Amino acid sequence: MDQEYNASTTYVLIAIIILLLMMILSTGCFASGFAVGKEVFEPPAVTTPASATDENIRMLSQPENFSIFWDALKLLDENYDGDVPHGRDVTYAAIQGLLDHVEGCDQDSSPPETILQITDAEDPKDAPDNFSFFWSTVNQLYRDCPAIMPEDPAELTYWAANGVIDRLGDKYTMLLPPRVAEDFRIDMESSFEGIGALVEPADEEERTGVRIVHPFENSPADKAGLRPGDEIIAVDGQDVTEMLLDQAVSLIRGPAGSQVVLTVKRGDDPPFDVTITRSRVEIPVIESKMLDDNILYVKLYEFSDPSKDKMEHALKQGLKDGAKAIVFDLRGNPGGRLDRAIQIASMFIEEGVIVKETGQRNMDHMATGDLIVPEDIPVVVLVDGGSASASEIVAGALQDYKRAILIGEQTFGKGSVQTLFDLKDGSMLRVTSAHWYTPKGRQINSVGLRPNLVVSPSLDINEDLQLDAAIDYLKKQLTK
């Protein structure tokens, strides 16, 4: 992160923080448990506000107005599968969340590191746990860095909460602000208004930029000629190369009938502009077709709400049409709902454990008993590095029961389950509530599933070596 710093401002800021800390220590306030209830919230005394911004801060600092923060932390404490911050860690993690967003404020060193170093007492009970220190930091930042602080102080709620969540070191647990949460809900419903393309971060490590994975067939993106691998570097003239993917996507989406100008970088060619008229886009949850030799090909794009019904229809129709073998393509499927994964796995597995869940519930999820595919129908599951989460639950269960073989590449390795909580302001808390294992107890998290037959993809986009390998395998099974 490139920043310019001013030493004098930093010394003033650090001096004030140290002074505040000494005042807090002198009152004898120290950690006494997990600070997630209103009873530990101690807003600072507030004088008559000097401006509208001060008034907004004063209102936000009241416990009832900052309740989203406390509600999120309480849900985290009750549902997270792992250790959570306690006591003074909550206060300083919230401050860290603020300062992570204050880029461009004149500082000579990182205030959060200074704070933590000063307060890292040998005995935890000697550390302060007074949330008014957080509000003092907020006021200090609004005085020193007003231009880069949010106009709506409510934004501080999400900064602070995600500061605490960041301490978990879990990239799948997060608090989504209302706008981002709404986009997430739209994705789960499998329809939205936009250009109609599956995208990923251009920079995987930083989760920034936009790269086209593939445009949906007959979508505005497809008709405009966008191709897999195209990088979108600007939206309506605004650079998005260093913008978080969710933020960039919110610029690309828009009402049906409106236009958006995308600046596209394709390989080594000079960037060019494409004007696209947005429309209502239905995400193709599933694709199915009958291949030669009565081999049914079914590709599932995600485990969204309609995936169970669509998968059931595709399998029943395929079997009715005479399918003798099945290729189940989960390549690039990032996952989705746990219940949909269990239901779809149960279409191939008549009984037994589908997935073992650890955490608050610590339970085995059993097959639903809704078998569709007879046991004498051979099955191949195609997987790759984009097959994650719910995809790995299904693929792992079918592999463990020897109901199918896996062909392709090592899967992503996301062996955790996230529970979604809708909060009253429209935001959404996504919590890793459990970790899961295959029916035989194999751990998938950070490991993934190894295919029975490893096949790398072809560099030629018109050639599918993995699908070819699946078809060859099934043909041999059918001739036995």
Q: Which residues are catalytic?
A: 389, 400, 414
Q: And the tokens for 41?
A: 């919230």
Residue carrying the six token digits 């041999």: 476
- For residue 275, what is the DSSP state? E
Helices (H), 27-153: 52-60, 67-79, 88-99, 111-119, 132-144
Q: How many CB atoms lie within 10 A of CB 125?
A: 11
Check: CB of residue 303 under 8 Å from CB of residue 393. no
Residue carrying the six token digits 């932390």: 73
Q: How many CB atoms lie within 10 A of CB 388?
A: 22
Phi, psi dihedrals of residue 260, rounded to the nearest 5°: -140, 140
The closest alpha carbon to 285, from 312, 262, 263, 261, belongs to 312
Check: CB of residue 387 under 8 Å from CB of residue 330. yes
DSSP H or E stretch at residue 311: helix 307-320
The closest alpha carbon to 36, from 7, 4, 66, belongs to 66
